[in-house]
Amino acid sequence: MKIIMLGAPGAGKGTQAKMIADKYGIPHVSTGDIFRANIKNGTELGKQAKEYMDKGLLVPDELTVKILLDRVAQDDCKNGYVLDGFPRTIPQAEVLDEALTKLGEKIDFAVNVDVPDENIVKRMSGRRACLKCGATYHIEHIPPKQEGICDTCGSELVLRDDDKPETVLNRLKVYHDQTQPLIDFYTAKGVLKTVDGTQDMKDVFNAIVAILG
């Protein structure tokens, strides 16, 4: 079972991807993790990717797909995988589709975790992080015992720049411009399934499991 997770930043798709991977015994394949692993291990593909990243450039789609295919060709992916963070654009989806077709494979489900923008802004602007130990909180859902203070190490909690409303709105605009067309792309292929991401995390997961069977 080959699954792609779609959803805006902060929609909770990464959490759902991990839960799906655990339930079905398939790997959770995050492009960020694969890049880091290839760079750390000094692979040829990793070296090529690092050249772009060091210059602050996006890694080209062809190279990203190569790194991804290299990962999903490994033994632990033979029963499927959950892709998280890729594809982000139509060209990436087309390159991936082409590569899978050559292997006689295809994506079985594209799961879209749908959350309205205003919910995401509220959700993300409520996050608080401890820069010292890395613990994260939410002022509504997982508040610290003492307001503004980390339970773990007693340091001050901050609202990270990328969680500020204006930054979140900017990221959402980029998402809608680039990734929204993917919803049409996978709808046309008959594999798109949408779940209501505003529900409780467990309910979202149950809805996904009902789709995947």
pLDDT at position 24 is 95
DSSP 8-state class, residue 161: G
Q: What angle do CA 188, 178, 16 make, to 5 degrees?
A: 75
Alpha carbon 39 to its chain's center? 20
pLDDT at position 83 is 95
Other beta carbons within 10 angstroms of residue 75's beta carbon come to 6
**May I ask the CATH class of domain 2-115+173-207?**
alpha beta
Ramachandran quadrant class, 95 (left: phi over 0; alpha: psi -120 to 50; beta: rest): alpha
Residue 103 has pLDDT above 90, yes or no: no
Q: What is the mean predicted confidence (pLDDT) over 142-152? A: 95
Exposure letters 116-138 (e unless 16+ CB within 10 A, then b): eeeebbebbbbbbbbeeeebebe
- Specify the 3-state DSSP secondary structure of 187: helix
pLDDT at position 10 is 86
Q: What is the mean predicted confidence (pLDDT) over 56-72? A: 87
pLDDT at position 60 is 87
Taking the whole predicted model, whether its pTM rises above 0.85 is answered as no
Q: Which residues pair with 209 in a beta bridge?
A: none
In sequence order, what E strands does 21-131 have? 28-30, 81-84, 109-114, 127-130
H-helix or E-strand spanning residue 2: strand 2-6
pLDDT at position 31 is 83
Q: How far apart, in Å, do the first and last CA atoms of the chain sit?
A: 11
pLDDT at position 62 is 86
pLDDT, tens digit (0-9, with 9 covering 90-100), for 176-192: 888 889 999 999 999 99
Average pLDDT, the chain: 92
Q: What is the mean predicted confidence (pLDDT) over 91-99? A: 91
Residue 88 has pLDDT above 90, yes or no: no
Name the residues annotated as catalytic: 13, 88, 127, 160, 171
pLDDT at position 171 is 86
Q: What is the mean predicted confidence (pLDDT) over 71-89? A: 91
Query: What gap in Å lies between CA 97 and CA 107, rounded to an integer?
Result: 8
Alpha carbon 6 to its chain's center? 7
pLDDT, tens digit (0-9, with 9 covering 90-100), for 169-178: 988 998 888 8
pLDDT at position 59 is 85
Domain ranges of the chain: 2-115+173-207
